[in-house]
A and B are shown apart, each in its own frame.
Chain A
Amino acid sequence: MTLMRDRTLLIIFSLFVLAAPLIFAPTGAAYPDLLQRFAIYGIFAIGFNILFGLTGYLSFGHAAFLGVGSYSAVWMFKLLSMNILPALLLSVVLAGLFSLLIGYVSLRRSGIYFSILTLALAQMSYNLAYSVLTPLTNGETGLQLRLDDPRILDAAGAEGSLPSTNLFGLEMKEVFWNPTIFGYDLQFNWGYYVSAVMLILSFWISIRIFRSPFGLMLRAIKTNQTRLNYTGVNSRPYTLAAFVISGMFAGLAGGLLASMDPLAGAERMQWTVGGEVVLMVVLGGMGTLIGPMLGAVFIKYFENIFSKINDTVLHGWFAFMPDWLDNFFVAIVSPFVGKGWSLTLGALFMIVVIFLPGGLVDGARRIGRKLTGADKRAAKVGIK
């Protein structure tokens, strides 16, 4: 029964997420900052998948909602309180409103026209943040906390230092437990666990949407929008709803980013950031439940690893070879590592789109099928 499968999936997912500091310890990726990024970009990708994965509408503009989420959160930190709860609420609401506006305009058209419109509007939002709405966004420098911020709801803080973001007293940057398990030094950090809970919640919401009539209509939009219209369903509000939902997820992600590190800059709204979330969803497997999360973790993880590899490390790898061969290989591999991560990402992306459009999930399925014998049943109901 699909319901059992979903419940099991949710439980396994939650366990993985909650035990992440332990699971990632052997790979050296278990420090709070990176784990937070896994969770937050996972939320961003899961939300984006609801639009792109289900309806097929490709928006390049979702970075704008990420940015709005961050700016809103920081404003809350300045005006009201360092407690992240009101900040996150404002992030989601404002991002939702903004995506309603942008979505309404962009959805006047469909297909490529829609994508180009989102691109243009994203670029415009970036320029708005960078140059035009500078009283709100502080332009180039970005929005930061200051000692003289009102923070109406907070008690007076310690003199001379900026207060930290917290959830009712639990500080986001605090490591509340630092045990050594299996010889690894683990850091359990509030910031990560707040993000993790949000992530599990987001995943649960996406499961419910996928299994709902609403989700069914979204998938119908992707496969044959015209037929859907002739069947009596008005596809436009469905797409707009998906757009806004994904915008709110993006806002939540932006708010969380600011909660971990209270500053907001315009560069978060560049359309290339919007491009990155597209990469995550496609790489992981668009339209699947677990794909976006896989893609987010994959990209953030390898981004982290690759950027640490420099020539010295490479020479270390190829040390066993004669010098000339060593240098040759270093020369070939070098552009792809270190600062060359974007190049690797672009190339990887092309390979996935050309050869494995279903992403990692599809790849895993194919390997699974080869291992367990060809799947002869043509009937498949439920998860794609």
Chain B
Amino acid sequence: MGILEVQNVNKRFGGLQALNNVNLDVAEGSVHALIGPNGAGKSTFLNCLIGKLKPDTGSVLFDGTPVLGKKPHEINQLGVARVFQTPEIFADLTVFENVMIPCFAHRDGAFKVNAFARVMRDKEIRQQAEDILEDMGMKEKMGAHSGALSRGDKRRLEMAMCLVQEPKLLLLDEPTAGMARADTNNTIDLLKHIGETRNITKVIIEHDMHVVFSLATTISVLAQGAIIAEGLPDEIKGHPKVREAYLGEAEV
């Protein structure tokens, strides 16, 4: 009984069976990596998890609650936060404003007309926002225009926005995509730091094996829409089926 239970998820696009009876059980507190060659169906799978796509059959239970068919904001309010491939932030707003929004969402819920309250006067929210920025090492950049940040800083900001809501589950969609080695290491350190200070379950979809083997406690391998292997990192390293599926594609 994990925090995330995926059962018999199938998804067909015309003639292509994108997801074929996928089952996944994510244990609470673990760092569960989902890997697989290109076209395996990882993005499709993630989109089913967060409400963007509806699978043909199957169920997804988050902490016991069925999640399929729920809207993205409902899923978030249940405790699931998501990090995107390209950092998605509120580019027109300042860093501080970016972080305040998830604070408000966490405290006030999905909708509240508080048109006469003052953002500037909400000490509780402002403190929360300041604290998380400090934790992420971004406090000096508080007043900066977030659209002008470097990619690495945007990633930190996005992470801060997720963490401040104290999610139970963090979904990361190829967080190091397109990054150079230095940035990748920074991201790994950041994720490790989060793991040390908080008890959050993480599901990471990744291509970069270095990242996977640095962080993952469990690995599932998706190939051609089906899970072909699952287990501890060491088990997966030498797994014949995994090598076969990747043949020449892995960056190890």
Judge whether B113 is part of the interface by a CB distance below 8 angstroms.
yes
How far in angstroms is the closest Cβ of chain B from A205? 8
Q: Which of A212, A222, A226, A379 contacts B94 (CB 8 A)?
A: A379
Judge whether B92 is part of the interface by a CB distance below 8 angstroms.
yes
Judge whether B110 is part of the interface by a CB distance below 8 angstroms.
yes
Judge whether B90 is part of the interface by a CB distance below 8 angstroms.
yes
A234: nearest residue on chain B (CB-CB)? B110
How far in angstroms is the closest Cβ of chain A from B121? 8
The distance in angstroms between the C-alpha atoms of A187 and B94, with both chains bound, is 46
With A2-B120, A213-B114, A223-B93 known to touch, is A232 a contact of B105 (CB < 8 Å)?
A: yes
Q: Which residues on the A side are within 8 Å of B120 (C-beta)?
A: 1-3, 211
Q: Which of A3, A222, A232 contacts B110 (CB 8 A)?
A: A232
Q: Are A378 and B145 interface neighbours, CB within 8 A? A: yes
Q: Which residues on the B side are within 8 Å of A223 (C-beta)?
A: 90-93
Q: Which of B73, B74, B109, B113 contacts A214 (CB 8 A)?
A: B113
Judge whether A29 is part of the interface by a CB distance below 8 angstroms.
no
Q: Are A227 and B88 interface neighbours, CB within 8 A? A: yes
Judge whether B179 is part of the interface by a CB distance below 8 angstroms.
no
The distance in angstroms between the C-alpha atoms of A27 and B117, with both chains bound, is 40
How far in angstroms is the closest Cβ of chain B from A209? 5
Judge whether B72 is part of the interface by a CB distance below 8 angstroms.
yes
Q: Are A379 and B144 interface neighbours, CB within 8 A? A: yes
Report the interface size class on chain B. Answer: 35 or more
Q: Are B88 and A233 interface neighbours, CB within 8 A? A: no
Q: Which residues on the A side are within 8 Å of B108 (C-beta)?
A: 213
Q: Are B94 and A211 interface neighbours, CB within 8 A? A: no
Q: Which of B47-67 contact A (CB under 8 A)?
A: 50
With A216-B97, A217-B101 known to touch, is A224 a contact of B91 (CB < 8 Å)?
A: yes
Q: Which of A208, A209, A231 contacts B76 (CB 8 A)?
A: A231
Q: Are B92 and A219 interface neighbours, CB within 8 A? A: yes
Q: Are A232 and B71 interface neighbours, CB within 8 A? A: no
Judge whether A329 is part of the interface by a CB distance below 8 angstroms.
no
Judge whether A238 is part of the interface by a CB distance below 8 angstroms.
yes
Contact with B along A220-242 (1 / 0, CB 8 A): 10111011111111110110010
Q: Which residues on the A side are within 8 Å of B161 (C-beta)?
A: 231
Judge whether A215 is part of the interface by a CB distance below 8 angstroms.
yes
Q: Are B102 and A231 interface neighbours, CB within 8 A? A: yes
Report the interface size class on chain A. Answer: 20 to 34
Q: Which residues on the B side are within 8 Å of A220 (C-beta)?
A: 90, 93, 101
Q: Are A227 and B76 interface neighbours, CB within 8 A? A: no
Judge whether B77 is part of the interface by a CB distance below 8 angstroms.
yes
Judge whether A381 is part of the interface by a CB distance below 8 angstroms.
yes
Judge whether B45 is part of the interface by a CB distance below 8 angstroms.
no
How far in angstroms is the closest Cβ of chain B from A228? 7
The distance in angstroms between the C-alpha atoms of A213 and B117, with both chains bound, is 7
Q: Which of B77-106 contact A (CB under 8 A)?
A: 77, 81-82, 88-94, 96-97, 100-102, 104-106
Q: Are A216 and B119 interface neighbours, CB within 8 A? A: yes
A223: nearest residue on chain B (CB-CB)? B92
How far in angstroms is the closest Cβ of chain B from A363? 19
Q: Which residues on the A side are within 8 Å of B104 (C-beta)?
A: 213, 216-217, 233
Q: Which of A213, A230, A237 contacts B82 (CB 8 A)?
A: A230
With A224-B89, A224-B90, A227-B88 known to touch, is A234 a contact of B73 (CB < 8 Å)?
A: yes
The distance in angstroms between the C-alpha atoms of A380 and B122, with both chains bound, is 19
The distance in angstroms between the C-alpha atoms of A233 and B76, with both chains bound, is 8
Judge whether B137 is part of the interface by a CB distance below 8 angstroms.
no
> Which one of B81, B92, B165 has the highest number of Cβ atoms from chain A below 10 Å of its Cβ?
B92
Judge whether B118 is part of the interface by a CB distance below 8 angstroms.
yes
Q: Which residues on the A side are within 8 Å of B91 (C-beta)?
A: 223-224
Q: Are A231 and B101 interface neighbours, CB within 8 A? A: yes
Judge whether B13 is part of the interface by a CB distance below 8 angstroms.
no
How far in angstroms is the closest Cβ of chain A from B47? 12
The distance in angstroms between the C-alpha atoms of A229 and B74, with both chains bound, is 9
> Which one of B76, B90, B104, B106 has the highest number of Cβ atoms from chain A below 10 Å of its Cβ?
B90
The distance in angstroms between the C-alpha atoms of A343 and B125, with both chains bound, is 50
Q: Which of A212, A227, A228, A235 contacts B116 (CB 8 A)?
A: A212
Q: Are A237 and B111 interface neighbours, CB within 8 A? A: yes
Q: Which of A211, A230, A379 contacts B50 (CB 8 A)?
A: A230
Q: A: which residues have CB within 8 A of B?
A: 1-3, 208-209, 211-217, 219-220, 222-224, 226-235, 237-238, 241, 378-381
Name 23 interchain pairs, CB-CB below 8 A, sorted by A: A209-B115, A213-B108, A213-B112, A213-B125, A215-B119, A219-B93, A220-B93, A220-B101, A226-B72, A227-B89, A227-B90, A228-B90, A229-B76, A230-B82, A230-B88, A231-B73, A231-B76, A232-B73, A234-B71, A235-B73, A241-B113, A379-B142, A380-B145
Q: B: which residues have CB within 8 A of A?
A: 50, 71-74, 76-77, 81-82, 88-94, 96-97, 100-102, 104-106, 108-120, 122, 125, 142-145, 148, 161, 165
Q: Told that A212-B115, A212-B118, A379-B142 touch, could you supply 7 new A-B pairs with CB distance under 8 A?
A: A213-B108, A214-B115, A217-B104, A223-B90, A378-B144, A378-B145, A380-B145
Q: Ordered nearest first, which 7 A-B pairs have the shortest CB separation?
A: A379-B143, A232-B76, A223-B92, A232-B105, A234-B110, A214-B115, A229-B72
